[in-house]
Structure 1
Amino acid sequence: MKAGWQRKKLAEVLQKTETVNPQLSPESEFDYIDVSSVSNITYQIESTQRLKGVDAPSRARKLVLENDVLFATIRPTLQRIAIVPEYLNGQICSTGYFVLRPKPEIDHRFLFYALFCEEFCRQIEVLQKGASYPAVTDGDVRGQAIAFPPLPEQHRIVTVLDEAFDGIATARANAEKNLQNARALFESHLQSVFTERGEGWELKTLAEIATTFGRGKSRHRPRNAPHLYGGQYPFVQTGDIRNADHVITEYSQTYSEAGLAQSTLWPKGTVCITIAANIAETAVLGFDACFPDSVIGVVANPIQAEVHFIEYLLQSFKSRIQAMGKGSAQANINLGTFENERFPFPSVEVQKQLVAKLDLLRDETQRLESLYQQKLAALDELKKSLLHQAFSGQL
């Protein structure tokens, strides 16, 4: 450890904090900071609830002061960490937070940054318990050790990190904006293809341009009977279609011979449309596969339509189709939605030309997205590197 630095457990460098019961003052109002109040993107308290004591939830028990550091102990790897600003001095937060109030020997912003260090994060991840609702205790956090230099050096390190992280945040915002713009460019062009169409386009139903059009089959009940699964026949579900990028190349389940017998094997090139759960998601089968009746299959008639044109066309109508499925507890549409809907189709030759152009634009969009994702990953690594240097005395 660098000269002048110390290493202590958090319990040794934190002041005691207070718990309160706002229900004892039923008419008094306070700002309540619940676990969802803190953003794990900006690391700030972005919203609070103004409540009367009588309406206080049972978790509203921890008094916070200006410059306290909040660390969410529920799903701690999400890093919902924030510093309490002046305007929330004396307010109340959820017991889902551990409140860190440093002693005078520790700068509160130095402590804030320490909670993002890789060593601290790794230890917290090991300590969390619970599969569906992972959490750590306040004691788990108190038991972690941090290294720190004298206070003047802490101030210097915080100044360097503040400046560097502000620059990283700006660069990250720009990269995310560029990422959104790349996606929006493709969406905009896709929409223009089908709204600014030229002469010779005709309105047709999907049945009119298909050799086969209908829902998938999964007749056996119960549907999760073990003997139906584990064979050689891909069984594509709505989630697989949602996760696909234009073409389905992966699947998470297979049918056995028994599963195939109560279903239908659709050919490679079938356009799949989800009509339940993730509605109006579309993709083209990259292999022969079965799918359930929550998916519509369209096998294109090559004289009438090009497969990938159909998928792009349905992408452009996605928002409109999804709106048709709203209004019930679980959004859904049905085969009739597509039996009655008429879509614009030019000649097959024009369809192929448009698909070639859309494919090129899609490839370029994906190239840009990959570059921006790499930049975002590099910025994240830069933050980790700076934190490592700061808390190992190398900054």
Structure 2
Amino acid sequence: MREGWRSSTLGDACDLIKRGITPKYIEDTGIRILNQKCVRDHAVDYSLARRHDSSLKRVPEERIVRLGDVLVNSTGVGTLGRVAQIRNEFEEAVTVDSHVTIVRPKQSIFYLDFFGYMMIRIESQIAESGEGASGQTELSRSSLAQNFKVQYPESLSQQQRIVAILDEAFAGIASAVESAEKNLNNATQIFDNYLNGALTQTRDGWETTVVGDLCTLKSGTTVSKNLEKPSGDLPYLKVADMNFPGNEMSIISSSRFLDMSDISKSAVFPVGTTIFPKRGGAIATNKKRITETPICTDLNVMGVIPPSNLLPKLLYYYFQNVDMRELGSGSSIPQINNYDIEPMSISFPRSEDEQSKIVEQLDTLGEQTHRLLSIYREKLDALTELKKSILQKAFSGELTAEPDKTLAEAGL
């Protein structure tokens, strides 16, 4: 332990570690209540809060959120462990629901903003500590209080100096993240705008029709599990296999295969088919792929097969311009049916040479866009790692430089 630093359990470092209330929701009045959606990226989004009718169920005073409290998401895979500190005063009373834990530091031993950074430091450990079945992961109060060790300087002024460095460093990182995200979105928007213009601005020599009159629509088929093989004649895809390595843009393989002798030829999607998820939450991913090899799929996938007078890649780009999330119908489980696809208007040049030129232009711009997206995503990943590195130094006693020097060393 570094000289002048202490170590304790989180429970010993806090005055309160408790879940929020089970709310009685009301629309317009009542106390504001924060939920897990409100806790993201180490900040609290109050716009996602709802209202609780405190006349039906009183909120204990200790569960009214205070300045300096850290909110910890405490249920659910993917949400559990996210933390955010309350760093601004409220204009009204605020509490949290039962899926969020209020962690209140002892003000006698913490400069409050230091405690917030300390909780961010252990966020990944908290996220990995849940117990229970998949999708029902829970973080108990006792686990949070007893199983996590925290280290901090005994000197409040030293804590305050560390916070000053972290505030400036994190502000610089946030600015860099905002710039990278803006560039990423711009690159995507440029391609989308070009794609939209290339396939919607009809000219002389173009044909306009509907997808149902032009193309063949096909859905997957049910295949007995015992016919699936680790290798074989034909890749057999389920929706998850659209993300199989190498299938990021076009389908070349799968995690499972079939032998041609085991299935009907009518179940095969030929080369050049554009496929996409047709059922359930996977529709929201808006994924489309073009087949580079004949494949077979399960019932959750639909394919659109182009006619001989339409280049398969041009049809694929046409569907890249379609938001599948707007098509899904169904009460509890979204589903795309043939009647959702058939009436779609499609225009294309009759000349195969002109079709080829459009595809070549889109391919070139697409490659450039993917390179840019890769660069910006790598930068965002690097900035995330930089935050972790700075926090590591802060809590190992290595962060002693002035803010400007720390930012310069980080390249910000």
TM-score (norm 1): 0.83
Shift of the 42–299 alpha-carbon distance from structure 1 to 2, 3 Å rule, reads same
Larger mean Cα displacement after TM superposition, 168-177 or 12-21: 12-21
CA RMSD of aligned residues (A): 3.5
Pairing partner for 2:110 from 106, 110, 117: 106
Q: Deviations over 1:12-58 (max 9, x none)?
A: 2212478998999x9x94222223322x1252242432322245599
Q: Deviations over 1:295-336 (max 9, x none)?
A: 44444444x1211011112222x13x7645547554434334
For structure 2, list consecutive stretches of 5 or more residues without a partner in the other structure: 400-412
Q: Does 1:386 align with 2:385?
A: no
CA contact (8 A) 1:61 1:92 kept: no
CA contact (8 A) 2:327 2:336 kept: yes
- The percentage of counterpart residues that share the same residue type is 26
SS in 2 for 1:147: strand
State how far apart, in whole Å, the 2-side matches of 1:23 and 1:323 are. Answer: 33
State how far apart, in whole Å, the 2-side matches of 1:381 and 1:296 are. Answer: 39
State how far apart, in whole Å, the 2-side matches of 1:340 and 1:236 are. Answer: 27
CA contact (8 A) 2:41 2:84 kept: no
For structure 1, list consecutive stretches of 5 or more residues without a partner in the other structure: none
CA contact (8 A) 1:228 1:258 kept: no
One-letter amino acid of the structure 1 residue matched with residue 84 of structure 2: I
1:37 aligns to what? 38
2:369 aligns to what? 365
Q: Does 1:127 align with 2:133?
A: no
2:402 aligns to what? none
Larger mean Cα displacement after TM superposition, 274-283 or 341-350: 274-283
CA contact (8 A) 2:34 2:97 kept: yes
2:53 aligns to what? 52
Q: Does 1:282 align with 2:283?
A: no
CA contact (8 A) 1:71 1:99 kept: yes
State how far apart, in whole Å, the 2-side matches of 1:187 and 1:230 are. Answer: 39
Shift of the 78–71 alpha-carbon distance from structure 1 to 2, 3 Å rule, reads closer
Q: Deviations over 1:101-126 (max 9, x none)?
A: 22211112111111122xx3454345
User: Superposition pairs for residues 318-333 of structure 1, below 5 Å?
Assistant: 318-319=322-323, 323=326, 325-326=328-329, 329-333=332-336
| Displacement of 1:89 | 7.0
Q: Deviations over 1:47-77 (max 9, x none)?
A: 4323222455999983322222222222465
State how far apart, in whole Å, the 2-side matches of 1:7 and 1:171 are. Answer: 34
Q: Does 1:201 align with 2:206?
A: yes
- After superposing on structure 2, the runs of 4+ consecutive aligned residues of structure 1 that deviate more than 6 Å are 17-24, 57-61
- Count of aligned positions: 381
State how far apart, in whole Å, the 2-side matches of 1:57 and 1:362 are. Answer: 57
CA contact (8 A) 2:241 2:255 kept: yes
Larger mean Cα displacement after TM superposition, 378-387 or 226-235: 226-235
1:168 aligns to what? 173
| Displacement of 1:353 | 0.6
CA contact (8 A) 1:168 1:379 kept: yes
One-letter amino acid of the structure 2 residue matched with residue 235 of structure 1: Y
User: Superposition pairs for residues 1-395 of structure 1, below 5 Å?
Assistant: 1-16=1-16, 29-38=30-39, 40-46=40-46, 47-56=48-57, 62-75=63-76, 77-83=80-86, 85-87=88-90, 91-103=94-106, 104-117=108-121, 120-121=122-123, 123-130=125-132, 131-143=134-146, 144-149=148-153, 150-206=155-211, 213-218=216-221, 223=222, 225-230=224-229, 232=232, 233-241=234-242, 245-255=248-258, 260-261=263-264, 264-277=267-280, 278=282, 281-292=287-298, 295-302=301-308, 304-316=309-321, 318-319=322-323, 323=326, 325-326=328-329, 329-346=332-349, 347-395=351-399
Q: Deviations over 1:234-284 (max 9, x none)?
A: 222345458854412453443466862496223332232554445575321
State how far apart, in whole Å, the 2-side matches of 1:57 and 1:365 are. Answer: 54
One-letter amino acid of the structure 1 residue matched with residue 169 of structure 2: A
State how far apart, in whole Å, the 1-side matches of 2:158 and 2:253 are. Answer: 53
CA contact (8 A) 1:324 1:333 kept: yes
Shift of the 105–289 alpha-carbon distance from structure 1 to 2, 3 Å rule, reads same
